[in-house]
Amino acid sequence: MIGTTVSHYRITDKLGSGGMGEVYEAEDTELRRKVALKVLPEHLASDPERLERFKREARAVASLNHPNIVTLHSVEESDGRHFLTMELVDGKSLDALIPENGFELERLFELAIPIADALAAAHEKGVVHRDLKPANVMVGEDGRLRIVDFGLAKLWEDSLEDTDTEMATEGLTKEGVAMGTAPYMSPEQLQGVEIDHRSDLFSLGILLYEMTTGERPFRGKSSIDLASSILKDTPDSVTDIREGVPRHLGRIIRHCLEKDPELRYQSAKDVRNELAGLEDEVKSGEVPLSTGAMPAVSAPEPAVKARPAWVFPAVIVAALLVVAGLVWMMKGGEESIPSQVDVSAVPGSETETKKIVVLPFENLGAAEDEYFAAGMTEEISAKLATVADLGVISRSSAVQYDRTGKTLKEVGEDLGVGYVLEGTVRWAKNSDGTS
């Protein structure tokens, strides 16, 4: 089609092709701009199922408005050809940009956070990408990242009150039919069962793994071997493959790659917030890094000479007493303090690791007192954060370990901290039954 004209679009180059159509670079002769034009092949346009899926792509993409998702300009038909016109991204796809050993840490965050943010925006609109892979992530010459090709997008809803308004998607994703790109498919995609937005999070985990190490987590000599690996294998941690990777990044990726969707992150926004929180911690020096080539973000030098290890538990207790005093005053002197607080040094941790994680305090009282337990956790974290030479792991990281069943040593090793603080809270009752 190069050199031909479709409607008022002059085809200048072919950019790629796939099961959902062929993509060309074209010039809009009316608006005098370059666009990406995706044409459904004629022999497929006569297939009602394919044509409906193509139109569904248009509806899905048109509903999205995000700086990291490609912009859809129009949906058109000319001389029996159905096509979309979209923003033309002048740049390279991520599969051409990932270095042999993965991105430097700073660049990794620059790319990974917008990807997760774009997925979150799509999921909020009920759009599941279903084919997230490096080839579908473009990085423009302007440095901005865009996710492209929502050709396999599936609209999903947790519940529909009015079934008459549901879009006609039934039958387009038939049970037992796997759709997607094999190395980046979720277990549920491979099994051909109903999927939701959490399938994208598994694909995101594969993408993050490859961006971190330069390797895919699942491999096989044949498609059957690859499928078996995705369904059964637990890949090596990125921290075992590459030095200089924060343990928490390894945990984020592992969480995305859980086989059971119920055990993964439940939203892309959670992944985005975890990555952003980790980026802040790395920049501030809260997260220890091994001596590899990856880190591109330098940690600031301590402003005060390090204190002996015994000082830190004492400082923590002092912070607790301050918070308890504040609570006592707020309640007018009534007895209302944490019923139990446990400050534990992580077995086997380095004494020079002056970092602590404050796990969410457990509320042992009435359900309506939950706010107080959360408030105590926040106050203690804030007080400890003012202590020189003591790093406090962010709340977004700590909350992931809320009553997970992991031991304190496992929590400490995952987060790279020397101390773990946990506790319970219960309001004491006065003789008249009031708090």
Q: Could you give the angle at the alpha carbon of 276 between the alpha carbons of 397 and 307, nearest 5°?
A: 55
Instruction: Find tokens 């990807």 and name the residue.
Output: 115
131 a catalytic residue: yes
Distance (Å, whole) CA 79 – CA 1 = 14
**Please, which residues bridge with residue 341 across strands?**
423
Distance (Å, whole) CA 246 – CA 35 = 41
Which one of 131, 200, 270, 414 is the catalytic residue?
Answer: 131
Find out whether 63 and 125 touch, Cβ atoms under 8 Å: yes
What's the number of CA atoms in the CB half-sphere (13 Å) around residue 15? 25
Instruction: Find tokens 């423009």 and name the residue.
Output: 140
> Which one-letter DSSP state was computed for residue 231?
H
Helix ranges, 214-310 (H): 223-232, 238-241, 247-256, 268-284
User: Of how many residues is the chain composed?
Assistant: 435
DSSP of 7-31: TTEEEEEEEEEETTEEEEEEEETTT
The residues annotated as belonging to the active site are: 131
